[in-house]
Amino acid sequence: MNKIAQIFQTLDYGPAPEGPDQANAWLDSHGRKFGHFIDGKWTKPGKTFASDNPANGDKLADITEGTAEDVNAAVKAARAAFKPWSALSGYERGKYLYAIARAIQKHSRLFAVLETMDNGKPIRESRDVDIPLVARHFYHHTGWAQHLSREFPDAVPYGVCGQIIPWNFPLLMLAWKIAPALAAGNTVILKPAEFTSLTALLFAEICERIGLPKGVVNIVTGQGETGQAIVSHEGIDKIAFTGSTEVGKAIRAATAGTGKGLSLELGGKSPYIVFEDADIDSAIEGLVDAIWFNQGQVCCAGSRLLVQESIETRFIAKLKTRMASLRVGDPLDKSIDIGALVAPVQVERIRDLMKRGVAEGAVVYEADGPVPAKGCFLKPALVTNVSPANTLVAEEIFGPVLVAMSFRTPEEAVALANNTKYGLAATIWSENINLALDIAPKIKAGVVWINGTNNFDAAVGFGGYKESGFGREGGREGMSAYLKPAWEKELKAAPAAKPAPAKAENPLDSGHLDQTAKMYIGGKQSRPDSAYNRAVLDPKGQTIGEVGEGNRKDIRNAVEAARAALSWSTTAAHTRAQVLYFLAENLDYRRDEFAARIKAQTGEDGANEVALSVERLFAFAGWADKYDGAVHNPPLRAVAAAMVEPLGVMGIVAPPSRPLLGSIALIAPALAMGNTVVLVPSAQSPLSITDLYQVIETSDVPNGVINIVTGDSVTLARTLAEHDGVDAMWFAGSAEASAIVEKASITNLKQTWTSRGLYYDLADRRFEGDYFLSKATQVKNVWIPYGA
């Protein structure tokens, strides 16, 4: 039988190797030894470490270990370059981005081969997915650069950005970060992952060849210590990190109180939900892409299969058949499906997790088939017989391992999907578009794909909820992540709080018994758990009332009530607007009473503050049904619906000044967007807000939507920030207390806004729009395919 006939008999793929000659020639031209790229020049190599080919263990090059001095030099260069770079017109900056995009396209084969050699992913993925998307990001942000002043008229760049990227998509992650940063007018210091620095260094040479101004892009290689030097450097204005949740939490703690901008794109344990009416064959092909793309080393990998019980047996059988045809081998072979993992340490980590999962009762299936004896290879694995508590279900594996569970009803599917600390992505497979679009908003994830998976585009934001981080990359949201309001540069320190007037220490010297205001939790007035009260004094030091001294248990009760009221987020925006209008109307009816209360506490005329508070409620009532998303048209047969969603339960600590407006200006945007609130009013002047719950009770506000806990602002703020049931935290107070709040937020990586001791004049009309609305929301992009 001739060879062609044999091929038709077996239908086996023959080898189709991609030649490494160009990549080797580029490495040889640098002597296979690299320094850093700082201020438009290559430094001499210092202490080095090896960058190996994970497919065969061969050393590709020696990479310099970045030191604190190297980071200092890069920051100095970036700082010097910032002023002239940001002063260029958007058109001029865009021309450089365009030149980068064209150069990447011109040398796409070199980039793809070098990426595969350094990372281990199949050449088909590098060639057909990664590199085209890299060019797409630079093209897309070429346009943003030119139109920035029109679309973000009051925004300015941060300045010098420190960017740290992972090893799973070395060049693509670079593009996601550098393209928007440069378009916005920032300069950057980027540290690639120690395992995969080579394409970042090739990119640096591209920057050099196209004449990018010196210091605009600086590439500093190294390991964890180099990243720490970047994060802690006082000369860096923003940190952008993609990597593990563990490291992301450490970065959040390290940057607490510094005022640096921060965006984190972290881990995931994404559900892949298959309903009984799905096209099973298509769903299985999508699943192969979801979990075995890049050997499962993808933060948004569909690593948790949730399949409806009625089709579970058939689906798993078909999946095992498909697994048997997956080819594991040399990633430079174009007929290979699964390449090498990035390093031996990653292989061992996955094996250890698998052992733990099996010890807990998991059953592992691996198809028969050859695996190269040399290199970092693992077979694709399917894990069954697991509960949600199993290590393999709960922990991010970051490898070619799929865990499978079943569900009976759509409600159970949603509960299982959301039963994770992560919230990066999800996939829904169903032929019933009504069902799919009903489920998508219920999934707590930043990206949801319907009847598809791993769709990415520069025009569509990408990023997570919960412990998958905050901030977005791509789209308008990703562009705004590298900009800040111009007026923030002019903020002054908040005036020092006036010392409390001297008062008697005897707790019995507290005035009339009927002047003790209770807390407001779950729609009911509540006495403090501590059974202690705190006196409220007028400017002369006379007691004018008492409020409860809130403690940890009061916060716990308030958070539970707020979580029980989260159906507020699904209430129609028109209805939320009406409730806010009612609040404003009922507050206005009692304006004289509230003005008098403000005067009693502060000695100042309160009429204007009441009027401003009513106006602010009206403003955000008006925004409730207008601050919404968009529909993106990526270059494939799909639309991506950007849905603006609330954060969830928000802890809000009001400033000491402006007893009424200080709270209203913060809770109004939160409520308008569908969040529920635990409010800590001004510690010095809380009576305006304890009076407010009488207005709340007559304004159709559902129980638990607004909860009020009085007491010491810093103590209660720390408790709120540490609470895992709180999804976001706003704090107006001192720089020291702001740092405490930001650091405490790492428990569940809640989003924070703090005033850092600066004076935010909440009476200013700039605060009745996008500034707080954007901080009270997050964007979910739902990808919806179309066409026959």
Distance CA 157, CA 406 (A): 48
Taking all residues of the chain, what is their mean pLDDT, rounded to a whole number? 95
The tens digit of pLDDT for each residue in 157-206 reads 999 999 999 999 999 999 999 999 999 999 999 999 999 999 999 999 99
H or E segment to which residue 287 belongs = helix 280-292
- pLDDT-derived band at 513 (thresholds 50, 70, 90) equals very low
Of residues 730 and 16, more confidently modeled: 730
Distance CA 337, CA 319 (A): 15
Mean pLDDT throughout 287-306? 97
Tell me, what's the pLDDT at 289? 97
Distance CA 326, CA 351 (A): 20
* Contact residues for 179 (Cβ-Cβ < 8 A; gap 6+): 97, 137, 138, 140, 141, 458
The DSSP letter of residue 659 is T
Which residue stretches of 14-154 are H helix?
A: 21-29, 68-87, 90-106, 108-119, 123-125, 131-151
Tell me, what's the pLDDT at 225? 97
- pLDDT-derived band at 1 (thresholds 50, 70, 90) equals low
Tell me, what's the pLDDT at 504? 46
Q: Where are the beta strands (DSSP E) in 212-276?
A: 217-219, 238-242, 261-265, 271-274
Tell me, what's the pLDDT at 509? 57
| 3 state DSSP class of 486 | helix
Report residue 571 CA to chain centroid gap. 25
Q: 21-57 burial, b if ≥16 CB within 10 A, otherwise e?
A: eebeebbeebeeebbbbbbbebbebeeeeebbbbbee
Contact predicate 54/119, CB 8 Å? yes
Distance CA 317, CA 325 (A): 13
Mean pLDDT throughout 337-366? 97
Packing angle, helices 131-151 and 108-119, rounded to 10: 110
- pLDDT-derived band at 759 (thresholds 50, 70, 90) equals very high
| 3 state DSSP class of 537 | strand
The tens digit of pLDDT for each residue in 368-402 reads 989 999 999 999 999 999 999 999 999 999 999 99
Lowest model confidence (mean pLDDT) among 9-13, 475-479, 482-486? 9-13
Distance CA 174, CA 181 (A): 11
- Tell which residue, 556, 587, 554, 544, has the closest CA to residue 701: 587
Q: 205-243 burial, b if ≥16 CB within 10 A, otherwise e?
A: bbbeeeebebbbbbbbbbeeebbbbbbbbeebbbbbbbb
Tell me, what's the pLDDT at 788? 66
Q: Does residue 127 carry a pLDDT above 80?
A: yes
Phi then psi dihedrals of residue 172, to 5 deg:
-65, -45
Q: What percent of the chain has pLDDT over 70?
A: 97
Distance CA 382, CA 316 (A): 9
Q: What percent of the chain has pLDDT over 90?
A: 94
Task: Report residue 8 as tokens.
Answer: 């038709």
| Reported pTM | 0.95
Burial of 360 (0-12, 13-18, 19+ CB in 10 A): middle
Residue 51 half-sphere exposure toward CB, CA atoms < 13 A? 31
Q: Does residue 13 carry a pLDDT above 90?
A: no
Report residue 235 CA to chain centroid gap. 24
Find the Cα–Cα–Cα–Cα dihedral 477, 479, 480, 481, rounded to 10°: 90
Task: Report residue 386 as tokens.
Answer: 């697991």
Contact predicate 264/495, CB 8 Å? no
Distance CA 716, CA 558 (A): 12
Burial of 690 (0-12, 13-18, 19+ CB in 10 A): buried
Q: What share of residues in the chain are helix, strand, coil (percent, to 5)? A: 45, 20, 35
Distance CA 54, CA 341 (A): 7
User: Which residue has 């709340």 as its token pair?
Assistant: 696
Integer-rounded Cα Rg, in Å, for the chain is 28
Q: How would you write 675-729 as a 3-class SS string?
A: CEEEEECCCCCCHHHHHHHHHHHCCCCCCCCEEECCCCHHHHHHHHHHCCCCCEE
Distance CA 696, CA 702 (A): 9
Mean pLDDT throughout 358-364? 97
Q: Is 477 a catalytic residue?
A: no
Distance CA 57, CA 376 (A): 8
Q: Does residue 700 carry a pLDDT above 70?
A: yes
Q: Is 299 a catalytic residue?
A: yes
Q: Which of 18, 115, 125, 265 is catalytic?
A: 265
Q: Does residue 497 carry a pLDDT above 50?
A: yes
Distance CA 177, CA 187 (A): 11
Distance CA 747, CA 767 (A): 29
Q: Which of 18, 65, 194, 299 is catalytic?
A: 299
Packing angle, helices 198-210 and 90-106, rounded to 10: 120
Lowest model confidence (mean pLDDT) among 22-26, 93-97, 530-534? 530-534
Mean pLDDT throughout 622-643? 95
The tens digit of pLDDT for each residue in 235-271 reads 999 999 999 999 999 999 999 999 999 999 999 999 9
* Contact residues for 564 (Cβ-Cβ < 8 A; gap 6+): 522, 704
Contact predicate 77/224, CB 8 Å? no
The DSSP letter of residue 595 is H
User: Distance between the two ends of the chain, CA-based, in angstroms?
Assistant: 42
